[in-house]
């Protein structure tokens, strides 16, 4: 029984250490992303590996996109294409939703104004990927 207790204590300790290192790695990655963006660098040579800044996700600000619904050139296309889903009620309330993939396709209909609105409302998220140079 004492061996089991020791094993469980070691597991707990390792899980706590893993959580600490994961949080620390996330904090450091955030700082590195910020610095890479400020310097305009997308790749960094680490000697035995390479770090690459990659876009991982984009968030949109719905309040900034809402004026697109008033643009006669694309208002109907926003809904028809699936770029915008208005708030509605099913069995539960469903909030409005913007689909960035579909939204980008509608830039052609509204010109610079639509493109600028989408760009201003979009916040890109990044992550860093690492690749060993000698890996096959």
- In this structure, are 77 and 131 located in the same domain? yes
Number of domains in the chain: 2
- In this structure, are 35 and 48 located in the same domain? no
- In this structure, are 16 and 58 located in the same domain? no
- Overall pTM surpassing 0.85 (yes/no): no
The pLDDT tens digits for 50-98 are 999 988 888 889 999 999 999 888 888 888 898 999 888 878 888 999 9
- In this structure, are 37 and 62 located in the same domain? no
- In this structure, are 111 and 81 located in the same domain? yes
Q: What is the pLDDT of residue 113?
A: 85
DSSP assignment of 74-102 = THHHHHHHTSEE--EESSSEE--EE-HHH
Q: What is the pLDDT of residue 111?
A: 77
- In this structure, are 30 and 71 located in the same domain? no
Q: What is the pLDDT of residue 135?
A: 57
């Amino acid at each position: 029984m004492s061996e089991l207790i020791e094993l469980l204590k070691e597991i707990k300790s390792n899980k706590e250490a893993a959580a600490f290192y994961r949080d620390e790695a996330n904090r450091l990655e955030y700082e590195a992303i910020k610095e890479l963006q400020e310097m305009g660098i997308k790749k960094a040579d680490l000697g035995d590996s390479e770090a690459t800044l990659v876009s991982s996700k984009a968030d949109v600000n719905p309040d900034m996109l809402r004026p697109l619904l008033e643009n006669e050139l694309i208002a109907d296309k926003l809904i028809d294409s699936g770029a915008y889903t208005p708030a509605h009620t099913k069995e539960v309330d469903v909030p409005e939703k913007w689909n960035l993939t579909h939204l980008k396709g509608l830039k052609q209909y509204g010109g610079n104004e639509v493109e600028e609105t989408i760009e201003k409302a979009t916040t890109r998220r990044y992550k860093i990927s690492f690749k060993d140079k000698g890996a096959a």
